[in-house]
């Protein structure tokens, strides 16, 4: 019997094993990918990009009521449970600045690199009613994200998408003068080169299947800008931290996922350099994969209270 995923956040809807019969009802096209695995349990081949994409479509429909979700071939297909975890830990972070109560009304979230999948805004709005602005450097990704939003009328005024025209910038060119967000989120590119991304894709394929001689396929794990950038994760977060100091009163909490624990020391050093008032690290895990969220603010305790009052939480 499959066990509950106790390492996920307590409010995460994906702690229970997947009920594939219910998921097929929500998304009939999933049925052709479902079969018995080596443990005689219903599952899908997680090494098959199309199977994973269709499973995501079913999960988003069944748990969050999202219709018509799709991504173009070759784009990042995220693990829904892990993405939901980030959102729930963000809710806890905001609650820590609100007397332990998760704020819902009027909360504005900036998703840096929303991608074609637009998963964080979809889950965050459905779970907490927050308003999202999603940025990305890829016009095609934003067009697909918009298609999903257009097919879900309740999201029409809940999610705004913006093109970041300069791939070397994070906040500049996205946040307008005088605009404020309660929190920013980001899942930065992990790899530092296309070769590193290919090696990661090959390792993932080998871990998920018996295809030991499979060649790395770029469409298994995402497009170039989703997977890698010059300097990798460490460089991206460095630039993000520096830019956050330029808009220190435009956002209460800046956050990012940090996949490589070896990058933490550099992140902390940079946040000390830019004089963040408070830095928090929250551990996260999904199965064998461990990650963490680093959050920082330039506002002290009294200023955080003032923020809450001004924003009418």
Reported as a single tens digit per residue, the pLDDT across 164-204 is 999 999 999 999 999 999 999 999 996 444 454 444 444 55
Residue 103 lies in a domain: yes
Residue 256 lies in a domain: yes
Q: Whole domain around residue 247: which residue ranges?
A: 78-311
> Which residues of the chain have a pLDDT value below 50?
191-194, 196-202, 205, 212-213, 216-220, 228
Beta bridge partners of 43: 35
For position 120, what pLDDT does the model report? 98
Residue 37 lies in a domain: no
Residue 248 lies in a domain: yes
How many of the other CB atoms lie within 10 Å of CB of 109?
A: 26
| CATH (domain of 253) | 3.40.50.150
Q: Report the C-alpha gap between 107 and 100 in whole angstroms.
A: 15
Whole-structure pTM value = 0.89
For position 286, what pLDDT does the model report? 79
For position 4, what pLDDT does the model report? 78
For position 225, what pLDDT does the model report? 61
**Domain tally, the chain:** 1
For position 285, what pLDDT does the model report? 86
Residue 20 lies in a domain: no
DSSP string across the chain: -PPP-TTS-TT-TTSSPP-HHHHHHH-GGGGGG-EE-TTS-EE--TT-HHHHHHHHHHHHHHHH---S----TTS----HHHHHHHHHHHHHHHHHTTTT----TT-EEEEET-TTT-HHHHHHHHHH--EEEEEES-HHHHHHHHHHHHT-GGGTTTEEEEE-S-TT-SSTTTSPTT--EEEEEE----BSSHHHHHHHHHHHHHHHSS-TTPPP-HHHH--HHHHB-TTHHHHHHHHHHHHHHHTTTTEEEEEEEE--GGGHHHHHHHHHHTT-SEEEEEEEEETTEEEEEEEEES--HHHHHHHHHHHT-
Residue 16 lies in a domain: no
For position 1, what pLDDT does the model report? 52
Residue 43 lies in a domain: no
Residue 169 lies in a domain: yes
């Amino acid at each position: 019997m499959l066990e509950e995923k106790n390492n996920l956040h307590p409010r995460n809807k994906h702690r229970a094993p997947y009920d594939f019969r219910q998921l097929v009802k929500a998304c009939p096209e999933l049925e052709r990918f479902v079969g018995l695995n080596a443990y005689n349990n219903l599952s899908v081949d997680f090494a098959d990009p199309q199977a994973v994409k269709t499973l995501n479509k079913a999960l988003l429909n069944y748990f969050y009521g999202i219709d018509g979700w799709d991504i173009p071939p070759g784009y990042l297909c995220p693990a829904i449970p892990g993405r939901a975890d980030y959102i729930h830990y963000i809710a806890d972070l905001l609650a820590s600045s609100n007397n332990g109560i998760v704020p819902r009304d009027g909360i504005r979230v900036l998703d840096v690199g929303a991608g074609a999948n637009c998963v964080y805004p979809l889950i965050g709005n459905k779970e907490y009613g927050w308003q999202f602005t999603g940025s990305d450097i890829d016009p095609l990704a934003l067009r697909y994200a918009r298609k999903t939003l257009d097919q879900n009328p309740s999201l029409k005024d809940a999610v705004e998408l913006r093109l970041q025209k300069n791939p070397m910038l994070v906040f500049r060119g996205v946040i307008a003068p005088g605009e404020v967000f309660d929190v920013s989120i980001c899942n930065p590119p992990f790899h530092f080169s296309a070769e590193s991304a290919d090696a990661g894709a090959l390792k993932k394929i080998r871990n998920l299947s018996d295809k030991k001689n499979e060649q790395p396929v770029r469409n298994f794990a995402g497009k170039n800008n989703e997977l890698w950038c010059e300097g990798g994760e460490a460089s991206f977060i460095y630039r993000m931290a520096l830019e956050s100091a330029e808009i220190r009163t435009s956002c209460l909490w800046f956050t990012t996922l940090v996949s490589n624990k070896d990058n933490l020391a550099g992140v902390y050093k940079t946040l000390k350099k830019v004089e963040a008032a408070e830095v928090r690290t929250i551990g996260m895990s999904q199965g064998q994969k461990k990650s963490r969220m680093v959050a920082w603010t330039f506002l002290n305790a009294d200023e955080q209270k003032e923020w809450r009052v001004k924003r009418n939480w």
